[in-house]
Amino acid sequence: MTGFDRRGLLRGGAAASALALAAPALLRNAAAQGKPIRIGFPVPLTGAFGAEANDQVRAAQLAIKAFNEAGGFEGRQAELLVRDDKLNPGEAATRTLELIEKDQVNFLVGGLSAAVTLSINNVARERGVIYNSITQSDAINEAKDFGRTTFHEALNPHMTAGAVGRHVFPKFGKRVAFLSADYAYGHEMMRGFKRAGEASGIQVVADIRHPIGASDYSAFLPRIAALKPDVLCLCNFGRDQVVSIQQATEFGLKRTTKLVAPVLLFTSRKAGGEAFDGVIGGTSYYWRLEDTVPTAKAFNDRFRAAYNGAVPSDYGALGYAGVRSVLEAVKAAKSVETDKVVAAMEGLKADFYKGPQSFRKCDHQSIQSVLVVESKSKDMKTPDDVFTIVGTEGPDERFLRSCDELGHKA
Amino acid sequence: MSELTLGGFPLDLLALQVVTGVALGAIYVLVGIGLSLIFGLMNVVNFAHGAFFMMGAYVGVFLYGYTGSFWLSLVAAPLAMGLLGLAVERVLVRPLYGRGIDDPLLLTFGLSYVMIEAVRIAFGLTGLPFGAPPELRGAVDLGIGYFPLYRLFLIVFAGIVVGALWLFIERTSFGLVIRAGARDPQIVQVLGIRISRVWLAIFGLGCALAGLAGILAAPLQGVTPEMGIPVLAEAFVVTVVGGMGSLAGAVLAGLIVGIVVAMTSLIAPDMTKMAIFALMALVLLVRPRGLLGRAGALG
Amino acid sequence: MSAQTTTPVGAAASPAASPAARPGAGRTGRWLALASRHRVALTLAFLVVFPWIAPYQALAANILVLGLYALGFNLLFGYTGLLSFGHAAFLGGGAYGSGIAIVHYGLHPVLALVAGTLLATLIAVAMGALAIRTRGIYFAMTTLALSMCVYYAFYQAESFTGGENGLRGINVPSLSLPGFRLDLLNPTVKYYAVLAVVGLAVWLFSRLLSSPFGAALEAIRENENRAQACGYDVRRMKLVAFVISGALCGLAGALQAIHLSIVPIETMHYSTSGQAVMMALLGGMGTFFGPFVGAATFSLLQDGLTTLTSHWQLFVGAIFIAFVLFLPLGIWGEVLARLRRAGW
């Protein structure tokens, strides 16, 4: 964390000149120590998820502000270093190197999209920097990608799809069709659904993969429509989800079939409009949680006050939680040293914005509630009132894949 | 993959899939024609073609919000993009004539960045929802299954546009100049016709068609600043497969690409995206000038 | 560099721009000729001090790698006159080759570089053998289509490549070589380690250009039919140039994999091919140093603008347009042209 690791920096004569050249950099970095607690925050400000990323930054800044107003840690203030990863894993890796090597950040929070979060994680864990990931991924829990400094604040597809499946299959029927984006994330969500479905004895009538980023789904839909399934699970994300739901509506699937999306984003719903009506999905946070959860109310109020009455989105809230978890752990550990903060995060019992949360020891996955929401465009309290919370699955380790399955040795 | 693949597919479904492919192809045709004409006649690789497609959609959707008339949008979007295309040709592309194909390519690449970002600034990052106009909603029973009315409209409308374009190029004196210009720009100039005016018109026409395709595609997917990026790649495939500068080629290739996409989606969904590039590679290796490309168009 | 060719520091795009073709250039070309003889040393001298100018070392190493990528591309585009839109397949091939060698087979990083370069070379042989039959814009389109087929093949081979999630775990914390060990987690050491490899490649590239083969490539660029008439086996030479170009880009990819410790699938996407075209044109196609200038400009521009405004694409786009309109020779090409006009 603190400057270069001088041990084993260089061995042998050939590298001596490089050491001489490195000296100015070492001096520069030494001067940066003992200053604010720096949190690097790589998110895709530009690119298809720019709206979500901007919301993440705004929410994260609230956590920083609250921490500083409460006096910081031993007089040290927190500072958020936002970097645009452009939704590109290569750019994210470069930016992460910049944050670690040049800016000497203490912690990293951020990432949106599985490929980017895995990229940041790979760079951070090799350098022993704590990284709290705030986007959905199953892979990051697995032993292969996990490092002791890896934390996962967001839900993962297994939890989300599982909760939605357990809610939907008993209610709407057992004949299920899948239309999934053909990449790891899509497969992970489908796996989560199928696992949940095994318990209710679902019958998979179609399992169709579409290429990620497809702008047209019409070629897949007649076949699904002909099968008249009870439930169609759309295992895709963002723009793919908006377009596939719009086109499924156009092909009249809603007449016979319940549309279900594992991760139903606030921003996607806003971009998709009425076509989303009746679609059920899962989310980590929806602002109407404030009706029942006091911390959600407090968080929303702070957000409204800071940003002209706007409400935080699901991914925005994760930006807040991701930063807050790290800062609370610093306070609990009374230190910014990696080992101590890791231990403090493992012991964190939080209720920051959505009810109780804690990190599981083996994979550092945040155990938390999953909300099941249904999209609506009528009876809206405000234009932001786009979902009804139809179910909540409380925080419970049962809903996670076991440490064994993930490859973590006990 | 699934139990459906056992024993083949019902004929009805295959037929419906072909119709789906034709509807998809209708968009490819309109985007591809513009790119192909600009490419074939002016030797300009218009990397901003997808951005014109996107901007056309935005113009149309924005106007629809004010007027509530889809038909007005259908006229205004191509008109606006045509005018913008004229301006771009006159101010930015014309200074580059005679410099080879690299310079216009880099310039239009830069232009696409500017256009996409301008739309982001004006309309936000998230995109706007947009559905088919009320009079074109719903599905029609084709006897082989239900098919969305809007997509049928798309096929018919694209057919009318292509027909009108064909008449324009084959039957009017200006069309004659275009055809001559495609064969040999120098001869046209010798005959006392300013080829620069032909190029101006072609560029404007191509961009107008991209804008029209954009507003036609908007009810299928909504609009986002990035919607033109995948379309550009597909339009390139159409252009190359059909033969650069060939109207009939673009129509044929657009339909082929649409049907290939629809059929691979049914039979081997994993291969859908690869299929169009494999098709392009195959055509280039067997018939480098495309299915209906003439030797003269770019010789 | 002993073989005297008419190529000055950057064999500029058109023969008219070369001093030999200008009247009275005999004396004034001396400085440029001197620089040309030492072009490798001058390029490396700049790259040695570069990390102290760049905003941060990871970016400097990126530019080094992208510079080598553009250099390899430029062999085909600038020196042979073939516009390829498929070079991402070689950058990606090299990156996946070395990444897979390290992640799945635990190879020594130096051997991984060789493995990556070899894989890229193989892809180049296959793609080249098919694409070389076409010409002009059709060549560009064929390479694009073939590279996208390679892209999807790698995309689908998820157990090897990680698919959409990319290949992770290419962690090379240190490099053991006979006699000493380098700590690659130190960004400065890593930069110079990458530079050592890039320097070797630049030197080889320069030797190649000075060889009769280099002269033959330029003959092909200037007039393919005449080159054919002079007895060159044009098709074979094009294929060899294509493969060498692919190998250089593959080496760049292999270095990038080790530098970033991941390989994103985007590395193979055609937009990465477009990046090579942009960097070569920005820097000055057919110039020796141009690719590095192009890579540096491209990266620094993006990096700088990104920190200033989230609308950086607006400015990047506008700057591209301005470059095409007002600096058609590219930055380095323009510098050379001005030096010549000024009588250097």
Write a three-state SS string for chain B: CCHHHCCCCCHHHHHHHHHHHHHHHHHHHHHHHHHHHHHHHHCCCCCCHHHHHHHHHHHHHHHHHHHCCHHHHHHHHHHHHHHHHHHHHHHHHHHHCCCCCHHHHHHHHHHHHHHHHHHHHHHCCCCECCCCCHHHCCEEECCCCEEEHHHHHHHHHHHHHHHHHHHHHHHCHHHHHHHHHHHCHHHHHHCCCCHHHHHHHHHHHHHHHHHHHHHHHHHHHCECCCCHHHHHHHHHHHHHHHCCCCHHHHHHHHHHHHHHHHHHHHHCHHHHHHHHHHHHHHHHHHCCCCCCCCHHHHC
Between A and C, how many CB-CB pairs are < 8 A? 129
Are A272 and B129 an interchain contact pair (Cβ–Cβ within 8 Å)? yes
Number of residues that make up chain C: 344
- Residue C249 within any structural domain of the chain: yes
- Residue C339 within any structural domain of the chain: no
Give me the mean pLDDT over the A381-398 stretch. 94
Report how many domains make up chain B: 1
Task: From chain B, pick out residues whose CB is under 8 angstroms from the CB of A220.
Answer: 265-266, 269
Q: With cut-offs at 50, 70 and 90, classify the pLDDT of residue A347.
A: very high
Of A110-114, A303-307, C7-11, where does mean pLDDT reach its minimum?
Answer: C7-11
Give which of B11, B22, B125 to mutate to test A binding, by max A Cβ within 10 Å.
Answer: B125
Among the partner residues A86, A144, A184, nearest to C164 by beta-carbon distance = A184
Among the partner residues B96, B102, B289, nearest to C281 by beta-carbon distance = B102
Q: With cut-offs at 50, 70 and 90, classify the pLDDT of residue A392.
A: very high
- Report whether pLDDT(A12) > 90: no
* Chains interfacing with B (3 or more CB pairs < 8 Å): A, C
The percent of chain A in helix, strand and coil, each rounded to the nearest 5, is 45, 20, 35
What pLDDT score was predicted for residue C23?
42
- Report whether pLDDT(B298) > 90: no
Among the partner residues B102, B105, B111, nearest to C317 by beta-carbon distance = B111
Residue C58 touches partner A, C-beta closer than 8 Å: yes
Task: From chain B, pick out residues whose CB is under 8 angstroms from the CB of A267.
Answer: 126
Give which of C53, C160, C168 to mutate to test A binding, by max A Cβ within 10 Å.
Answer: C168
Give me the mean pLDDT over the B61-84 stretch. 94
pLDDT tens-digit series, residues B96-136: 888 877 788 889 989 999 999 999 999 988 888 888 888 88
Residue C62 touches partner A, C-beta closer than 8 Å: yes
Phi-psi label, residue B127: left if phi above 0, alpha if psi -120 to 50, beta otherwise = left
Indicate if the alpha-carbon torsion angle C242, C243, C244, C250 is positive or negative.
Answer: positive
User: Greater confidence, A290 or B195?
Assistant: A290
Parent domain of C63: 54-269
Structural contact between residues C30 and C36, judged by C-beta atoms closer than 8 angstroms = no
Are A252 and B273 an interchain contact pair (Cβ–Cβ within 8 Å)? no
Task: From chain A, pick out residues whose CB is under 8 angstroms from the CB of C261.
Answer: 93, 122-123, 126
Structural contact between residues B53 and B227, judged by C-beta atoms closer than 8 angstroms = yes
Are A50 and B125 an interchain contact pair (Cβ–Cβ within 8 Å)? yes
Residue B101 touches partner C, C-beta closer than 8 Å: yes
Rounded percentage of chain C residues whose pLDDT exceeds 70: 91
Are B244 and C130 an interchain contact pair (Cβ–Cβ within 8 Å)? no
Instruction: Please give the Cα distance from B197 to B182 (Å, whole number).
Output: 13
ipTM associated with this complex: 0.88
Task: From chain C, pick out residues whose CB is under 8 angstroms from the CB of A209.
Answer: none
Domain A158-283+370-399 annotated CATH 3.30.70.260: no
- Residue B78 within any structural domain of the chain: yes
Instruction: Please give the Cα distance from B38 to B33 (Å, whole number).
Output: 9
pLDDT tens-digit series, residues A368-378: 999 999 999 88
Task: From chain C, pick out residues whose CB is under 8 angstroms from the CB of A123.
Answer: 260-262
pLDDT tens-digit series, residues C124-156: 999 999 999 888 888 988 999 999 999 999 998
Instruction: Please give the Cα distance from A372 to A284 (Å, whole number).
Output: 9
Structural contact between residues C67 and C223, judged by C-beta atoms closer than 8 angstroms = no
- What backbone torsions phi and psi does residue A5 show, to the nearest 5 degrees? -80, 105
> How much is the mean pLDDT over chain A?
89
From residue B141, how far is each of A204, A251, B148 by CA, in Å? 27, 12, 9
Give me the mean pLDDT over the B59-82 stretch. 94
Structural contact between residues C257 and C273, judged by C-beta atoms closer than 8 angstroms = no
Structural contact between residues B64 and B73, judged by C-beta atoms closer than 8 angstroms = yes
Are B221 and A182 an interchain contact pair (Cβ–Cβ within 8 Å)? no
Outline where chain C has alpha helix (H). 25-28, 30-37, 39-49, 57-74, 88-105, 109-131, 136-156, 158-161, 187-210, 212-222, 224-229, 234-260, 270-283, 290-308, 312-326, 330-341
- Report whether pLDDT(A34) > 70: no
Give which of B14, B64, B154, B220 to mutate to test A binding, by max A Cβ within 10 Å.
Answer: B220
- Pairing relationship of beta strands A280-283 and A366-367 according to DSSP bridges: unpaired
* Chains interfacing with C (3 or more CB pairs < 8 Å): A, B
What pLDDT score was predicted for residue C231?
85
Fold of A34-155+296-368: Rossmann fold (3.40.50)
Are A226 and B145 an interchain contact pair (Cβ–Cβ within 8 Å)? yes
Give which of A83, A101, A145 to mutate to test C binding, by max C Cβ within 10 Å.
Answer: A101
Give which of B142, B265, B272, B273 to mutate to test A binding, by max A Cβ within 10 Å.
Answer: B265
Structural contact between residues A317 and A299, judged by C-beta atoms closer than 8 angstroms = yes
Parent domain of B270: 3-289
Q: Compare all CA atoms of chain B with the CA of A267 and give the residue at the minimum distance.
A: B126
Reduce the DSSP state of residue A97 to 3 states and report it: helix
Among the partner residues C181, C188, C265, nearest to A11 by beta-carbon distance = C181
- Residue C112 within any structural domain of the chain: yes
What pLDDT score was predicted for residue C130?
92
Are C183 and A8 an interchain contact pair (Cβ–Cβ within 8 Å)? yes
Are C149 and B101 an interchain contact pair (Cβ–Cβ within 8 Å)? no
Q: What is the dihedral of CA C34, C35, C36, C42, to 10 degrees?
A: 140
Are C328 and B99 an interchain contact pair (Cβ–Cβ within 8 Å)? yes
| Token reading at C74 | 């430029």
Are A10 and C186 an interchain contact pair (Cβ–Cβ within 8 Å)? yes
Among the partner residues A50, A210, A246, nearest to B221 by beta-carbon distance = A246
pLDDT tens-digit series, residues C15-54: 333 333 344 445 556 777 777 778 888 888 889 988 888 8
Give me the mean pLDDT over the A104-111 stretch. 96
Burial class (CB in 10 A: 0-12, 13-18, 19+), A27: exposed
Task: From chain B, pick out residues whose CB is under 8 angstroms from the CB of A226.
Answer: 10, 12-13, 145
pLDDT tens-digit series, residues A50-61: 889 999 999 999
C-alpha distance across the termini of chain C, in Å: 21
Rounded percentage of chain B residues whose pLDDT exceeds 70: 95
Tell me the shortest Cα–Cα distance from A210 to chain B, in angstroms. 6
Phi-psi label, residue C251: left if phi above 0, alpha if psi -120 to 50, beta otherwise = alpha
pLDDT tens-digit series, residues C201-224: 999 999 999 999 999 998 888 888
Identify the residue whose tokens are 């559905």. B131
Tell me the shortest Cα–Cα distance from B269 to chain A, in angstroms. 6
Are A271 and B227 an interchain contact pair (Cβ–Cβ within 8 Å)? no
- Residue B298 within any structural domain of the chain: no
Are B21 and A219 an interchain contact pair (Cβ–Cβ within 8 Å)? yes
Instruction: Please give the Cα distance from C251 to A310 (Å, whole number).
Output: 50
Angle (CA) A99-A102-A106 rounded to 5° is 50
pLDDT tens-digit series, residues B138-179: 888 888 778 899 999 999 999 999 999 999 988 888 888 877
What pLDDT score was predicted for residue C26?
52
Residue A212 touches partner C, C-beta closer than 8 Å: yes
Give me the mean pLDDT over the C84-110 stretch. 96
From residue C8, how far is each of B246, C5, C142, C296 by CA, in Å? 43, 8, 32, 22
What pLDDT score was predicted for residue B4?
44
- Residue B206 within any structural domain of the chain: yes
- What backbone torsions phi and psi does residue A233 show, to the nearest 5 degrees? -95, 120
pLDDT tens-digit series, residues C1-13: 333 333 333 333 3
Give me the mean pLDDT over the A166-179 stretch. 94
Residue B106 touches partner C, C-beta closer than 8 Å: yes
The set of long-range contacts for A6-11, using a CB threshold of 8 Å and a minimum separation of 24, is: A8/C174, A8/C181, A8/C183, A9/C183, A9/C186, A9/C189, A10/C180, A10/C182, A10/C183, A10/C186, A10/C189, A11/C180, A11/C181
Are B261 and A246 an interchain contact pair (Cβ–Cβ within 8 Å)? no
* Chains interfacing with A (3 or more CB pairs < 8 Å): B, C
What pLDDT score was predicted for residue C204?
95
Tell me the shortest Cα–Cα distance from C46 to chain A, in angstroms. 14
Residue A200 touches partner C, C-beta closer than 8 Å: no
Q: Compare all CA atoms of chain A with the CA of C183 and give the residue at the minimum distance.
A: A9
- Residue B12 within any structural domain of the chain: yes
Task: From chain B, pick out residues whose CB is under 8 angstroms from the CB of A252.
Answer: 138-139, 146, 148
Buried b (16+ CB within 10 A) or exposed e, C105-143: eebebeebbbbbbbbbbbbbeebbeebbebeebbbbbbb
Task: From chain C, pick out residues whose CB is under 8 angstroms from the CB of B112.
Answer: 317
- Report whether pLDDT(A95) > 90: yes
Query: Where, residue-wise, is CATH 3.40.50.2300 in chain A?
Result: 34-155+296-368, 158-283+370-399
- Residue B295 within any structural domain of the chain: no
Q: Compare all CA atoms of chain A with the CA of B263 and give the residue at the minimum distance.
A: A219
What pLDDT score was predicted for residue A410?
67
In single-letter form, the type of residue at position A205 comes to V
Q: With cut-offs at 50, 70 and 90, classify the pLDDT of residue A312.
A: very high
> How much is the mean pLDDT over chain B?
87
- Report whether pLDDT(A219) > 90: no
Rounded percentage of chain B residues whose pLDDT exceeds 90: 48
Give which of C158, C265, C313, C331 to mutate to test B binding, by max B Cβ within 10 Å.
Answer: C313
User: Greater confidence, A17 or A348?
Assistant: A348
From residue A71, how far is each of A37, A67, A75, B110 by CA, in Å? 13, 7, 6, 48
User: Greater confidence, A41 or C271?
Assistant: A41
Among the partner residues C83, C141, C317, nearest to B240 by beta-carbon distance = C141
Among the partner residues A4, A21, A89, nearest to C262 by beta-carbon distance = A89
**Closest residue by Cα to residue C310 from A110, A97, A54, A313:** A54
